[in-house]
Amino acid sequence: METVLSGLAGGFGVALHPFNLFLVLVGCFGGTLIGALPGIGPTNGVAILLPIAYGLGLPVESALILLAGIYYGAEYGGRISSILLNVPGDSGAVMTTLDGHPMAVNGEAGRALSLSAVASFIGGTFAVVLMSVFGPLLASYAISFSPADYVALMVFAFASLASLVGKDPLKTLIAALIGLMLATVGIDASTGIKRYDFGIPDILAGIDFLVVIIGLFGIGELLHLVEQQVTGRMSLLKLDKSFVSKADLLLTKWTIARGSVIGFFVGILPGTGASVASAVAYGTEKRLARDSEKFGTGDPRGLAAPESANNAAAGGAMVPMLTLGIPGSGTTAMLLGALLLFNVQPGPLMFQQRPEIAWGLIASMYIGNVALLVINLPLVGLFARMLTIPPRYLTPLIGVLAFVGVYAVIGNTFDLKLAIGLGIFGWILRKLDFQLAPVILGFVLGSLFENNLRRALSMSGGDWSILLESFDSQALYVLTALTIVIPVIVGRRRLRMAAQKQ
């Protein structure tokens, strides 16, 4: 503990230098603006600004502090478009749309945005504290996860979908399968065989996540707004001066605590990220709630759970990168590339050889969490006023943001057409009362599941028993079984109690 405290003291000495403090604030504010653009997300934001940070000739610790500020700011910024426009900023914000946007529709945009900021602050701070104290130990455990253990984790995440969203489990399952099907498009990385490309060269590399999320949510929401305008059912959303209250914090305190724990420990597993963490946290809260039917209608718990989880996962993903040199997510892979660009090799020795970088970055994350809270809470009213934009301006604005987001990152006109096609498909699914969140989660988790299943079977020579050999896998399969069985038992018990009361 003494080593940790002395390291943090030196780190704060670096992070609180006036220039580095300025970079933290610039990164957090700029990241918030970048994250608010639908579909851009922290990974693309860091990727776009990495050459600029390098080209400015900044010291390596200052450049990394700036990029980490962008990372954290974009994590929060993605929630703005999720809550206000029902268009997730990144995969980790998909679950935020389920209760965040209904709160905005109910005239509680300010309440949703401010609760999101508080939950994000607590989740992010919790993750940085654990990273400071237990980082190397937890990273060593995370790296011990085998491909078979990852398969079990993906099975657990898919089982969570059964009670995750919507009132029809069958439609939820179908939506997840659609996402899995989209994830299989392109050349098989293991065999080199073309899959479902229909002779179109542009999708041989697979369908980009940005195209899927912009198409299904962005273009789908655009078509929904156009339909409402054409049919005369469009009306401006209500806007009041709602703000997070003491009652909200008391209602969600254990939700935020559980989400922070789940997010951090899922986040340290390389390759999982905020999408898995937010899905597991949301599903856990919905199963624990006695009034689970309120989830999806604007319940603060349904917003606080994924918000605390995805920010804790962002901090957790930094653990294996700093302590082992293994990126825990797409964005930390970009940060790892930044370190290598500056000829710095991350890993256990970095804390001894370059403590100003390792501890300076960790200290900047403490400051960044506070900065995000201070910056964004006063701007809640301004963000919420986006809902008062007249429909004739709001609809084309969403369209411009969607197309610019796709083309700026990918630069291929075919992907614009593909996004339109997916948008029409998403609009049809919405008309049929399908939730789109399981589609996105199926798409994100599908490739993780397939790749780790292939690796596990390759290691065992095709012996499926490898999937059940480790204690971690067995524990996750037990949790999966409980996830499926317990809601059935609880549901039947409630029916019996209701029948007895009558």
Give tens-digit pLDDT for 313-352. Answer: 888 888 777 776 666 666 777 777 777 777 777 766 777 7
The label of the residue with tokens 């596990």 reads 456
Percent with pLDDT over 90 in the chain: 1
Mean pLDDT within 379-400: 70
> 344: which DSSP letter?
-
Distances in Å between the alpha carbon of 189 and those of 186, 204, 231, 442?
Answer: 9, 11, 46, 19
Q: Which of 439, 388, 354, 421 is nearest to 215 (CA)?
A: 421
Q: What tokens appear for 377 in the block?
A: 């809470």
Range picked from 84-93, 165-174, 303-312, 477-486 for highest mean pLDDT: 303-312
> In the beta sheet, which residues pair with residue 194?
187
**For residue 162, is pLDDT > 60?**
no
Dist. CA 367–CA 44, nearest whole Å: 23
Percent with pLDDT over 70 in the chain: 81
**For residue 139, is pLDDT > 70?**
no
Reported as a pLDDT band with limits 50, 70 and 90, residue 255 is: very high
Reported as a pLDDT band with limits 50, 70 and 90, residue 354 is: confident
**For residue 239, is pLDDT > 60?**
no
Sign of CA dihedral 87, 88, 91, 96: negative
Mean pLDDT within 93-120: 85
Q: Provide the whole-model pTM.
A: 0.73
**Mean pLDDT of all residues belonging to the chain:** 78
**For residue 277, is pLDDT > 80?**
yes
What pLDDT is stored for residue 443 in this prediction?
82
What pLDDT is stored for residue 490 in this prediction?
65
Mean pLDDT within 38-53: 70
Give tens-digit pLDDT for 470-479. Answer: 888 888 888 8
**For residue 223, is pLDDT > 70?**
yes
The label of the residue with tokens 């603060």 reads 300
**For residue 272, is pLDDT > 60?**
yes
What pLDDT is stored for residue 38 in this prediction?
64
The more confident residue out of 267 and 254 is 254
What pLDDT is stored for residue 273 in this prediction?
67
**For residue 386, is pLDDT > 70?**
no
Give tens-digit pLDDT for 420-436. Answer: 888 899 889 888 888 77
The more confident residue out of 502 and 292 is 292
Q: Are 401 and 37 in contact (CB under 8 A)?
A: yes
What pLDDT is stored for residue 256 in this prediction?
92
Question: Any residues with CB less than 8 A from the CB of 374 and at least 6 apart, and which?
Answer: none
Mean pLDDT within 110-116: 87
Mean pLDDT within 79-99: 79
